[in-house]
Amino acid sequence: MEKEVERLKKRIKKNKNLPQHIAIIMDGNGRWAKKRGLPRISGHRAGVKTVKRIVRVAGELDIKFLTLFTFSTENWRRPKKEVSAIMELLYETTKKEIDELCRNNVKLITTGRIDELSPRRRQILQLAKDKTKDNTGLILNLALNYSGRIEILDAVKKMIEDVDAGQIDPEKIDQKLFSRYLYTKDLPDPDLLIRTSGELRLSNFLLWQTSYTELYITEVLWPDFSTFDFYQAILDYQKRDRRFGRIR
Ligand code: IPE
Ligand code: IPE
Ligand code: MG
């Protein structure tokens, strides 16, 4: 197996058209736990291990941006116990991993309404961002308390303010300008979107940004998502013909 993984890595490197930005809907933690008769939070804990693995491997491959859907605004609808367990796991993991992120030259950023998290959680994320801000390797973007529709509405509201203040001319609003009002203004659109555990939907993730993103959906549950699975997704992407509406 080890050899097979190395072989895939070599093939990816040889292909050259590496995706610059990979986004992942990390789904299936609950099902993973249920299958084992464990509480859902065990699934989330196992999911953190996969996050560490994929961050390391993405960095080694020289992927520039990795966006992970970590918590959606809709996820607040889950039982209080699960929500607080996820939030606590986020806090603990961020705190524990800051040094490792630095060792791996990873820069941490977030996307979403972070201001709605508790002060303690906001602070630890801020500390991690500050400590990693000069790192030049992988940019790890955690989509947290994120909703694609709310992001678009936030952009519209900000834009209206700027129109009212005379800072932008409504006639000049185009796709490029609009993108600059999104949370993701500093990131290119994702080239590849991976969703684990088989659901065929976007679940309100990066609605604007994924207009021409290549989709890859696997049945593998997030805690089981291996380096091999990740390489397979990238290799599949490298075979795609991205036409952007043109013909070839
Ligand atoms: C993804 O796993 C993690 C979050 C949404 C926070 P789920 O918890 O959604 O797992 P399933 O879909 O119930 O299996
Ligand atoms: C999407 O997964 C959100 C995250 C992975 C953080 P969900 O499990 O919340 O999506 P739905 O509810 O099945 O669409
Ligand atoms: Mg789910």
Can you count the helices (H) and strands (E) in the chain?
8, 6
Q: Which of 127, 151, 129 is nearest to 139 (CA)?
A: 129
Ligand 1 centre to CA of 47 (Å) is: 9
**pLDDT 10s digit of each residue in the chain, 248 long?**
899 999 999 999 999 899 999 999 999 999 999 999 999 999 999 999 999 999 999 999 999 999 999 999 999 999 999 999 999 999 999 999 999 999 999 999 999 999 999 999 999 999 999 999 999 999 999 999 999 999 999 999 999 999 999 999 999 999 999 999 999 999 999 999 999 999 999 999 999 999 999 999 999 999 999 999 999 999 999 999 999 999 98
The pTM score is 0.98
Residue 31 in contact with ligand 1 by CB distance below 6 A? yes
Which one of the listed residues 29, 75, 105, 241 is annotated catalytic? 75
- Residue 229 annotated in active site: no
Beta-carbon count within 10 A of 178 CB? 15
Q: What is the CA(146)–ligand 1 centre distance, in A?
A: 15
Query: CB within 8 A of 103, min separation 6: which ones?
Result: none
**Residue 34 alpha carbon, nearest atom of ligand 1:** 14
Q: Two tokens at 130?
A: 């500050």
Cα 192 from Cα 233, distance rounded (Å): 9
Name the closest-CA residue to atom 1, ligand 2: 203
Substitution site in 31, 38, 42, 81 for ligand 1 pocket (most atoms within 8 Å of beta carbon): 31
Q: Is the CB of 71 under 6 A from ligand 2?
A: yes
- In this predicted structure, what is the pLDDT of residue 248? 83
Q: Is 75 a catalytic residue?
A: yes
Parallel, antiparallel or unpaired: strands 65-72 and 21-25: parallel
Structure tokens that stand for 162 in this block: 């700027």
In the reported structure, the alpha carbon of residue 207 is separated from the centroid of ligand 2 by a whole-number distance in angstroms of 14
Taking the C-alpha atoms of residue 52 and residue 168, their distance in angstroms, rounded to an integer, is: 42
C-alpha distances in Å from residue 235, one per residue of 27, 47, 55, 102? 21, 23, 17, 28
According to the model, what pLDDT value does residue 1 have? Answer: 84
> Domains of the chain, with CATH numbers?
20-147+190-238 (3.40.1180.10)
